[in-house]
Each structure stands twice: as structure tokens, then as C-alpha cells.
């Protein structure tokens, strides 16, 4: 007979006094003093009891993550996370992806969440490792990607003593993370991992667990939580009354336009079905580019500064705008008098920036499944369609001109059309931030390709990590990173990670020797060009020195052949393209209405 101590209040369960072995006490038992669960009790004389326990906290965390479907953990090892790194090494279910920089690790976890809707996990040491995660985690938080960061921490017994690399971790992350906790006791570990995953999926967003090293090495022999019994999706749909209200407004209105956002990414077929019944054009946000085939009659491409004129016109001239899985930024003001129906999973986003006539809170796909049957077949609005078709045709003629522009230095638009000619329809394209972003989103017509970007914080450096994450998750697909010399230069050292992991991605670098998008912004604000130029290394030579393949293209006539080689290569390949430093694509603001009359 023995004794068991509550680790919360130190009350002791004495088997002799209680007349029952602690092992025979039901799992629902709780401490009579503080209410702590049975799992909070430890045997008195822990050393002997621990001899039979083979696993530690770190190993159980990794086992729990594997049970939640995690296949990769991205990051950098160090003294404050070595127990977890060792646990990953011994695991046959999770692979550790060593990166050159923690920002890369966070971006890879974020990209994994965006592409799969599954939990992305990154890991860092204490101190600078945590601060280096920040940008990638903020991107995940703002773009609603489910991510868990395991933040290494100094031993708990040293917390608050100004130990080496100790920082206030949770305060660092709490301004944007949905969930932040410290695993301060061994018997907290599995519960906190479960809760972190649940919160990451809830919004979705970022969870952070601080993991003191000494706690990670403590013995733990608790059963893991089973995902199917503990983690559930939060997809909901509006009730029929609200659906019928929206359908009535749609059926009564002649000119309806659709703006489809990130929330509609799994509803492409339903969007087309709805548009064909309503005879309504569909614009998309930049994040949801490619959610429908952009060669479809009703597709307008992307709306906004990096979008098309015909998308802007369709929004400005409609009588009713159907917002699906998106809100409107202040920069994209809706003209007065337009009625609005908004569908979004997050009720706080419905009506956030403008009044709405009908708000439907629910998953876009589930909501559209209920809405489409209530919609009546409409007749074409010939005048509206005629003007749209004219602007769209002008746009296609611009693309055709770009496709045949063999000028030197290379027209960035030619690069986009060359990529379009050679890429597979099921490819994944990860687009970094810069002037090339405008060229891509305006001029690449998606026909099945999936596109990903850093949208809400628009962080340079996203493209390369995202492409590596995509190739890990979808090894049989072509994966292309479209980036500028500025963005690629920020995390280019991780091209070696692609080489080491045999990730046959294609990186297209627009080399213009400057931050051309900032140059454009300076010009728009009537500032002189200043502080935006830099000397570049030999990017192609760098790629070759890393063990990949590298090409430099100065003659546009060579680009198609190089792209063909790169896209079928079994090694990471970089194409450095010397583009025109003066050719800048302008943002779209408003359509010239007089020209359309």
C-alpha cells in the first residue's frame, strides 16, 4: 500500500487510510481539496515508480502530434528543445525538416496549413529562435492558417532569473496568437497539446506552447488523445430562413456580381453553378485566384490593385454584390447604392467594413449547397455583358502582346506568359511579394493551378518556404516559386534545404536589382527613387553551388527551353531572369467610366 500526492495542493491519498488502491480509483476521481483530476497525482517515492515508465514528456508530445495527423515539424534544434528533437528522431511517424532560419520554418508550417487545412507545426529554441518565428506566425494568424509553434524555453526552475536566452515568450506571441500556454507540469502536456490544436483549428490561427527543457525530460506514461474523438470541425451553415431571404434578393435583382474569397476555396464547382444560373460574373480575391477556371465565360480574374479592369468594372456597375468567404478592405470601397449579401464563417467579418442587406454566417461550400437550388435561372444582361466582354478582350490582347514581346531587357509580362505556356494545369504556384506579384496576378490565367501567397501582411520571403512545403505535401505535382530578387534574397540560404530534402521545385527569380514595387510606391507618392537598389549575387551560380540547377536568362528567346528543362528536372532548379528595371505594372484603382460609354 502506498501514498499518492496531488501536485496542485499537495493533499495525499493514503491507500491504507482510504482502504483502496489508487489504481482502483475511478478516472473521474478528483482531489477533495482542490478538485484536481486523478492525473494530477504522483506516487510518493517517485524515483521508484518512475523506473517502470519508459517515455518522457517530449516523446508523448510527439506521439500526440502524430495522432493528430502531423507528418512534418520544421525548425532548428538547440539546447532548449533537444528533448523534443530527440523524440522526433525516434519517431517513425513525424519527420524533422531542418531549416536555415526559423522564419523559413514558420512560413513552411503556415503554407502547410494554407494548402492542406491541416495543422502545421514549427519548432524553435528559446530567445532568438522565438523572435525569428514571428513573421511566419503573424502571416499564419492574419491569413487564418492553423499552426502550432513549439517554443523552446529554459528550464522552469530558472524562469524569472534572467537565465541565458530567457525572454517573456508568451507576451511576445499573445498579441496575435489564439492560444498561448506554458507546459509547466508533465501531466499538463497532452491536454495542452490537444487544446493548442483545437484553438489552431477554431478560427483558424496560431497556437504557441512554451516548453521548458526540464519538463520535457520528466517521465510521462499517459494515453494520448484520439483525434476523431477530440477534434471536430466547426463548419456550419445558415438556417433555411436566411437562405431564402438571400435567394429572394438575388432573384429580384438583374445585375448581380460575385466576389469569391479564400473562404470559397473548396467551392469552385458551386461558384460556377451559381454564376451560370444567375448569369453573373465572378471576380476573386488574390488569395482565391484559381478557385475557378479563369478561362470560364463568367470569370473576371482578380479584383483589386493587383487585379483586372473588367473585375473592377463588374463590381462598380452591379446592383447586387455577393461576397463569398471574403470581406472588403477600406481600399476597395463599394460604390453607394449597391446591395450586398455576405457569406462568411466568422460572424465578426460579416458587415465589418460595410452595411450588408443579408448576412449568412457559415461555411461557403455548405451555404452555397443550400442556396443554389433556390436561385432562379436569369436571362443574360446583354449591355452589361457586352461592355465586360470588350474590356476582357482588351486584357487578353495585352496578354497576347506580352507573349510575343521579345524585347531585351525581358518584359516581365513575357515571363508570365512563358510560364503559362509551359506549366501543368494542376501545378502549385507560390508567389512572393514584389512588383512581380502584380504581373502574375494580373496576367497569369489559371486553368486548374493553385496559387498561394502571403496576403494580409504581404511579407517578402514567403515564396521559397511555401514552395518547399508544397513539394513535401504534394510530391507528384509541379511546384513553382515566383519571386523577386528582394524576396528571394531574404531566405535564399534555404535553397540548400530544398536540395537536401530532394524537393524538385522550380524557383523563378525576377532580377531587376531593386525593390521595384517600392520604387513604384515612391513614384506614386511623388518621392524620388531612393534606397531601393542593390547589387545582386549570381543567383544561378548560387543554386548550382548548393547542389541544384541554375540558369540565367537574358534573351527571351531562350526562356521557354529553360522552363521546359526546369519543370521536368528531378532537382531544385532556379531560373534567374534579367527583367526590365523600368517596366512596372500599374495598380488598378477605378475603371475610366467615360471610355466605356
pLDDT at 588: 61
Q: How far is the C-alpha of 405 from the C-alpha of 382, rounded, in Å?
A: 34
pLDDT at 509: 98
Continuous H helices in 424-473:
435-443, 463-473
pLDDT, tens digit, for every residue of 543-586? 999 999 999 999 999 999 999 999 999 999 999 999 999 998 87
- pLDDT, residue 335, reads 76
Cβ burial of 280 (10 Å; 0-12, 13-18, 19+) is buried
pLDDT at residue 592 in the model: 43
**Assessment of whether the complete model's pTM goes beyond 0.85:** yes
CA–CA gap between residue 251 and residue 333 (Å, rounded): 25
CB 350 within 8 A of CB 361: yes
Q: How far apart are the first and last CA of the chain?
A: 93
Give the pLDDT score at 235: 82
Nearest to 141 by CA among 454, 520, 588: 454
Dihedral of alpha carbons 368, 371, 376, 381, sign = negative
pLDDT at residue 312 in the model: 86
d(CA 3, CA 150): 35
Q: Is 590 exposed, middle or buried (0-12, 13-18, 19+ CB in 10 A)?
A: exposed
Longest CA–CA span in the chain (Å) reads 94
Please give the grid coordinates belonging to residue 25.
480509483
Q: How far is CA 374 from the centre of its chain?
A: 33
Sites in the chain below the pLDDT cut of 70: 7-9, 45-51, 157-162, 164-166, 329-333, 587-597
Cα–Cα distances (Å) from 214 to 59, 63, 158, 159, 255, in that order, read 13, 19, 10, 11, 64
In this structure, what C-alpha cell is assigned to residue 438?
502584380
3-state helix/strand/coil string of 515-569? CHHHHHHHHHCCCCCCCCECCCCCHHHHHHHCCCEEEEECCHHHHHHHHHHHHHC
Can you list the domains of the chain with their CATH numbers? 3-50 (2.20.28.10), 57-230 (3.40.50.970), 240-386 (3.40.50.1220), 404-578 (3.40.50.970)
Q: Which of 402, 410, 399 is nearest to 556 (CA)?
A: 410
- Which CA distances in Å does 433 have to 58, 96, 452? 37, 28, 11
Predicted local confidence at residue 571, as pLDDT: 98
Amino acid at each position: 500500500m502506498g501514498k499518492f500526492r496531488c501536485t496542485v495542493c499537495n493533499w495525499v491519498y493514503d491507500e491504507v487510510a482510504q482502504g483502496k488502491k489508487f489504481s482502483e480509483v475511478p478516472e473521474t476521481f478528483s482531489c477533495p481539496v482542490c478538485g484536481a483530476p486523478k492525473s494530477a497525482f504522483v506516487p510518493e517515492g517517485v524515483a521508484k515508480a518512475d523506473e517502470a515508465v519508459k517515455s518522457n514528456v517530449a516523446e508523448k508530445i510527439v506521439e500526440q502530434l502524430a495522432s493528430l495527423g502531423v507528418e512534418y515539424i520544421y525548425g532548428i534544434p538547440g539546447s532548449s528543445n533537444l528533448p523534443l528533437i530527440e523524440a522526433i528522431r525516434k519517431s517513425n511517424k513525424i519527420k524533422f525538416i531542418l531549416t536555415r532560419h526559423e522564419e523559413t520554418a514558420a512560413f513552411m508550417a503556415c503554407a502547410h496549413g494554407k494548402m492542406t487545412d491541416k495543422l502545421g507545426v514549427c519548432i524553435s529554441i528559446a530567445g532568438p529562435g522565438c523572435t525569428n518565428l514571428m513573421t511566419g506566425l503573424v502571416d499564419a494568424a492574419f491569413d487564418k492558417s492553423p499552426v502550432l509553434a513549439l517554443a523552446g524555453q529554459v528550464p522552469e526552475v530558472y524562469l524569472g532569473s534572467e537565465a541565458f536566452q530567457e525572454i517573456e515568450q508568451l507576451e511576445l506571441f499573445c498579441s496575435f496568437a489564439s492560444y498561448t500556454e506554458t507546459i509547466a507540469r508533465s501531466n499538463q502536456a497532452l491536454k495542452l497539446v490537444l487544446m493548442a490544436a483545437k484553438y489552431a483549428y477554431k478560427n483558424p490561427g496560431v497556437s504557441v506552447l512554451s516548453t521548458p527543457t526540464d519538463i520535457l525530460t520528466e517521465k510521462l506514461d499517459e494515453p494520448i488523445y484520439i483525434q476523431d474523438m477530440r477534434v471536430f470541425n466547426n463548419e456550419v451553415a445558415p438556417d433555411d430562413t436566411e437562405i431564402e431571404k438571400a435567394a429572394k434578393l438575388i432573384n429580384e435583382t438583374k445585375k448581380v456580381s460575385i466576389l469569391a474569397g479564400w473562404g470559397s476555396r473548396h467551392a469552385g464547382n458551386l461558384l460556377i453553378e451559381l454564376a451560370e444560373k444567375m448569369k453573373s460574373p465572378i471576380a476573386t480575391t488574390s488569395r482565391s485566384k484559381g478557385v475557378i477556371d479563369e478561362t470560364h465565360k463568367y470569370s473576371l480574374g482578380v479584383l483589386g490593385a493587383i487585379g483586372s479592369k473588367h473585375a473592377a468594372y463588374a463590381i462598380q456597375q452591379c446592383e447586387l454584390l455577393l461576397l463569398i468567404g471574403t470581406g472588403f478592405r477600406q481600399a476597395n470601397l463599394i460604390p453607394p447604392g449597391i446591395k450586398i449579401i455576405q457569406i462568411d464563417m466568422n460572424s465578426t467579418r460579416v458587415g465589418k467594413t460595410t452595411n450588408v442587406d443579408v448576412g449568412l454566417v457559415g461555411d461557403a461550400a455548405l451555404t452555397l449547397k443550400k442556396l443554389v437550388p433556390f436561385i432562379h435561372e436569369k436571362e443574360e444582361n446583354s449591355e452589361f455583358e457586352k461592355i465586360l466582354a470588350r474590356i476582357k478582350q482588351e486584357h487578353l490582347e495585352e496578354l497576347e502582346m506580352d507573349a510575343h514581346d521579345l524585347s531585351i531587357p525581358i518584359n516581365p509580362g513575357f515571363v508570365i506568359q512563358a510560364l503559362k505556356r509551359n506549366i501543368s494545369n494542376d501545378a502549385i504556384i507560390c508567389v512572393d511579394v514584389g512588383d512581380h506579384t502584380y504581373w502574375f496576378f494580373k496576367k497569369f490565367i489559371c486553368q486548374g493551378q493553385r496559387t498561394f501567397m502571403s496576403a494580409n501582411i504581404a511579407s517578402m520571403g514567403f515564396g521559397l518556404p511555401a514552395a518547399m512545403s508544397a513539394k513535401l505535401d504534394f510530391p507528384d505535382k509541379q511546384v513553382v516559386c515566383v519571386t523577386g530578387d528582394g524576396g528571394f534574397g531574404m531566405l535564399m540560404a534555404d535553397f540548400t534545404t530544398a536540395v537536401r530534402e530532394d524537393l524538385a521545385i522550380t524557383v523563378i527569380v525576377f532580377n531587376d536589382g531593386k525593390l521595384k514595387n517600392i520604387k513604384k510606391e515612391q513614384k506614386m507618392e511623388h518621392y524620388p527613387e531612393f534606397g531601393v537598389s542593390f547589387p545582386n549575387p549570381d543567383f544561378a551560380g548560387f543554386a548550382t553551388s548548393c547542389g541544384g540547377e541554375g540558369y540565367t536568362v537574358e534573351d527571351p528567346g531562350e526562356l521557354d527551353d529553360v522552363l521546359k528543362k526546369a519543370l521536368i528536372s528531378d532537382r531544385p532548379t532556379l531560373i534567374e531572369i534579367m527583367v526590365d528595371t523600368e517596366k512596372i505594372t500599374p495598380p488598378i484603382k477605378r475603371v475610366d467610366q467615360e471610355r466605356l460609354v
